[in-house]
Structure 1
Amino acid sequence: MIGKFFKNLFSSEGEAPKSASKETMVVYDNYRIIAQPQSSSGQWQVSGRIEKDFGETTKTHRFIRADTLPGETDAANEMIRKAKMMIDQQGDTIFD
């Protein structure tokens, strides 16, 4: 398992973790929350990104949590819940 991790990490052809087939996007307080659960050992890892436009510039904060859930939809919903909490607590400082 660790060997495979390092092989993918240092290989020029390393594969990215398998992402969800369909992204889920929610607009929350002028932020775009895009859930992108990743398949991980038969579970779905909570991951995605938060975006916000500042004039003509779009800033993005990407995160992957250690949390895994059995369903892709459950992982997407958990990502959205966590992203809303992060936005409420940190606001625009998440882009620093």
Structure 2
Amino acid sequence: MGLLDSLKGLFSGAEGSDKGAEQQQAYEEQSIDYEGFHITPAPIKTGSSYRVAATITKGEKEHHLIRADEMPSLQDCIEISLRKSKQMIDQQGEGLFESR
């Protein structure tokens, strides 16, 4: 399953959407506020591992962070997703939301 398939499954109403909704709620519970931004981890299941990913928001602005890094543990992936998000905020600040 490729990255695009993973993203499609994450955002579509595909089979298992109840499980996806439960998982999203679990991620929401682990969300944090950092430097005026809101970070929600959103690991992407890829086979037997999880790809580092998160959603960073500030007001109406939203940025989807997706990294190539994969972790065997969901909890490790969540922690790294939060850490990488903080790092991006520290480095880019509001520039996260600019089109490139």
Same fold (TM over 0.5): yes
Count of residue pairs brought into register by the alignment: 84
Q: Which amino acid aligns with 1:81?
A: R
Higher strand share: 1
Unaligned runs of 5+ in 1: 10-14
Provide the TM-score with structure 2 as the length reference: 0.73
TM-score by length of 1: 0.76
Identity percentage over the alignment? Answer: 31
Partner letter of residue 16 of structure 1?
Answer: G
Aligned to 2:56: 50
Greater mean deviation of Cα atoms: 19-28 or 60-69: 19-28
Say which structure is richer in helix.
Answer: 2
Distance in 2 of aligned mates of 1:93 and 1:64: 16
Q: State the one-letter code of the partner of 1:52.
A: K
Gaps of 5+ in 2: 11-18
Q: What is the CA–CA distance in structure 2 between the aligned matches of 1:90 and 1:65, rounded to whole Å? A: 16
- 8 Å contact kept, 2:65–2:85: no
Rg comparison, structure with higher value: 1
